[in-house]
Each structure stands twice: as structure tokens, then as C-alpha cells.
Amino acid sequence: MTDSPLVSLLRPVRSGNAFEETVERLLQAIKLGVVAHGAKMPPERELAAQLGISRVTLREAIRALQESGYLEVRRGRYGGAFVVYEPPDPGHGDLRRALNAMGPGELDDALTFRMAVECGAAQVLAERALTPAQITLLRRRLADVNRAGPSDYRRLDTAFHLCIAELTGSPLLAAACADARLRVTDLLNAIPILSFNIQHSALQHAAIVEAILDRDPDRARQAVAEHLEGTAALLRGFLA
């Protein structure tokens, strides 16, 4: 265990199959509600460019999602790929199933990773002097998630968390946080949204923002850690 740095350094160069990877990404964008129900995905050419893949590959992925009922594609001007998917209310077996879909150590890996990068992002942000526009944006996202109904909650919660990372101005860090979030999405989606939890989270979200705006890195870090620990404990509890 924990052998030389070779292990970290000589890790896989490419994630795997471009097609599958793309399907996964788009699926996450849909499930996270980043592209909301009924909304249009960006045009193929644009999307392909952003994802760094060819149009052909992208289209294969889109077709797969179309056939699975996540997207509806319309041609012609003002056409495009529209999201036709609404997150179902999670049943009781769903979390178990989602957990089993992950490898054994994978859950811990994902949770640890998320804890580290999100705490790091909050800390970094709290060390900065934010511009008024940034402050406004952060407050806005906080208000959004606190005002969210059950159908919007996950989406706005995601937006709030990612907003912190994006405000650091580091694309690498933002990508890492997005990645971390992706790895627990399926699990989060399988947890029923309880109003008790929402209210609890709202307090924690507020504490995070407050600490950041107060330029207090330690408090920011702690607030995020506490917040994420709640989710982590919930998920880990189902493994017992």
C-alpha cells in the first residue's frame, strides 16, 4: 500500500472510450438538471468543440440518449436536442442499487475527494477579496437554493456548490469540484429530499457564504466540512 509516487504519476492517460465518456457526461448534465427539463442542449458543433470530440462521436452519444428517452431531437432552425427527462421520485431500493453499482472503495474515494476539493475551494475563496459582482452572484445562488422547491433542489444545490469553485477563477479547481460532484450524483438522486434536510442544509449553506464573505478561511473550511459530512454520513449509513 501507498507505494512510491509512481502510482499517482503513471495513472491512466485517457479516461477510456470517448463515446461512453461523452454519454456519461451528457447524462450527468441532464440528471443534475444543469440543462433543465424541456431546455435545449447547445448545438452539436458547439458542444462537440467544448467536449473536445468530433461531431460524429457526439452524435452517437446523443442518439444513445435519445433512444434511452433522455433527449428529443428536432431538426431545422431553432431545433436541437431537448431534454425530455424528469427525475423520478426515488424509491426505497434505489440507493442500495446505486451503491452496489459502485465498486467497494469507490464510495470512500469519491467522498474523500469531494471533501478535499470543496473544502479547498471554499478556503481559497475565503482568502480572497471578492468583487461586488462576485458577492452578488454568490448571494444569489444561496438565495436560489434556499428558495428552491423539491423539483429544483438538486439542480440549484449543485449550482451553489459549483459557484464557489468557479468564483476562485481556477478552471482546474472548478473541473475538479464538478468531477467530485458527478461521482456522487447518482447516490444523491437516490435519496429522498426531506424538508428537514433542506432546512438543515440551508443553515449550513448560509454559514459557508458568511464565512467566505467574512474572509475567514478556517470557518469556511469547517462549514463546508460539516455540510459534506452530513451527506457522507447519510450515505455511509446505508452501507452498515
Residue 8 or residue 195: which is nearer to its own copies going by CB?
8
Positive/negative CA dihedral, 104, 161, 156, 39: negative
Q: Where are the beta strands (DSSP E) in the chain?
A: 71-74, 80-83
* Binds its own copies by CB under 8 A, chosen from 2, 76, 89, 100: 2
Per CB under 8 A, the segment of 82-90, 93-101, 161-169, 187-195 that binds its own copies is 161-169
Binding mask 56-85 for its own copies (x = CB under 8 A): ------------------------------
Binding mask 91-130 for its own copies (x = CB under 8 A): --------------x--xxx-xx-xxxxxxx-xx--x---
Of 185, 204, 134, 192, nearest to 164 by C-alpha is 134
Phi-psi region of 2 (alpha: psi -120 to 50; beta: other; left: phi over 0): left
97 binds DNA (CB under 7 A): no
List the interface residues with its own copies, window 128-147 (CB under 8 A). 134, 137
47 binds its own copies (CB under 8 A): yes
List the interface residues with DNA, window 157-176 (CB under 7 A). none
State in angstroms the smallest separation of the CB of 150 from its own copies: 20
Residue 74 or residue 139: which is nearer to DNA going by CB?
74
Per CB under 7 A, the segment of 10-18, 193-201, 218-226, 232-240 that binds DNA is 10-18
DSSP string, 166-205: HHTT-HHHHHHHHHHHHHHHHHHHTS---HHHHHHHHHHH
List the interface residues with DNA, window 12-71 (CB under 7 A). 14, 17-19, 41, 43-45, 52-57, 59, 62
Exposure string of 31-51, with b = 16+ CB inside 10 Å and e = fewer, is bbbebeeeeebeebeebbeeb
| Helix, strand, or coil (residue 132) | helix
- Distance between start and end Cα atoms, the chain: 25
